[in-house]
């Protein structure tokens, strides 16, 4: 899919990898972006930076179907179509199976992570796919692309990541059935499993903590650059033959248990 003037919905688009991707798509690909996020101040600031002709912010709770409906309607009203959906919103809430006293953990924390990281992805993907199916197909028969953000933790989760890893593995598990269902409509579905990236949150950590994280990275021995992530999103959107797959973007890193 040629991204020039295409409309891209990005959840978690007001910060971190989502924001970096929004900026890259506008500046490097000439696309238009819709930022779905709960951070109003950061979202509006990003729109001001990119320009209102190229961006819109929609205050969105991905766990609330009505909130997504309102945001989708706003995008359609402004831009008239949705071509790409990048689901980057997520929470890394730790959740052990047993507490310090050996008692089973309550379900609430686990359910919260699944609700945001997995159900939220399905919610937005489905709503965007509904609109993509209405697009005229391009020369390759494409109407839309979905890119869901997983994690290396989906494969090698660390201690305390049962909820997070489960949610991210679930994202990868949706690739093939979603690709099979939506493929006849001209919509592809893939996921990215990123490793360690130099987001503002990571960069704010103590230098010793940052170095301990880098020590786990195989090669190249550094954090990923956020534009490298954004470039990968663009690649998956532009390459019409990549479908139903998870791309690990992690410098060959295998997470340790702790």
Active site residues: 164
State how far the Cα of 233 lies from the Cα of 59, in Å rounded to an integer.
23
């Amino acid at each position: 899919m040629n991204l020039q003037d295409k409309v891209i919905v990005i959840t978690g688009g007001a910060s971190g990898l989502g924001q970096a991707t929004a900026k890259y798509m506008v500046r490097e690909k000439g696309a238009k972006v819709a930022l779905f996020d709960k951070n109003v101040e950061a979202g509006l600031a990003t729109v001001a930076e990119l320009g209102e002709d190229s961006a819109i912010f929609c205050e969105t709770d991905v766990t609330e179907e009505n909130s997504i409906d309102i945001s989708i309607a706003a995008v359609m009203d402004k831009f008239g179509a949705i071509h790409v959906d990048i689901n980057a919103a997520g929470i890394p809430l730790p959740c052990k199976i047993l507490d310090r006293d050996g008692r089973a953990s309550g379900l609430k924390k686990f359910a919260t992570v699944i609700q945001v990281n997995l159900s939220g992805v399905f919610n937005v993907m489905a709503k965007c796919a509904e609109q993509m199916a209405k697009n005229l197909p391009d020369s390759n028969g494409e109407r839309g692309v979905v890119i869901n953000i997983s994690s290396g933790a989906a494969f090698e989760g660390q201690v305390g990541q049962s909820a997070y890893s489960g949610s991210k593995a679930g994202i990868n598990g949706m690739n093939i059935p979603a690709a099979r269902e939506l493929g006849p409509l001209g919509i592809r579905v893939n996921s990215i499993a990123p490793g360690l990236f130099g987001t503002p949150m990571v960069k704010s950590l103590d230098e010793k903590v940052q170095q301990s994280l880098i020590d786990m990275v195989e090669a190249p021995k550094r954090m990923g650059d956020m534009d490298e992530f954004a470039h990968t999103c663009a690649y998956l959107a532009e390459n019409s033959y990549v479908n139903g797959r998870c791309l690990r973007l992690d410098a060959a890193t295998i997470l340790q248990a702790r």
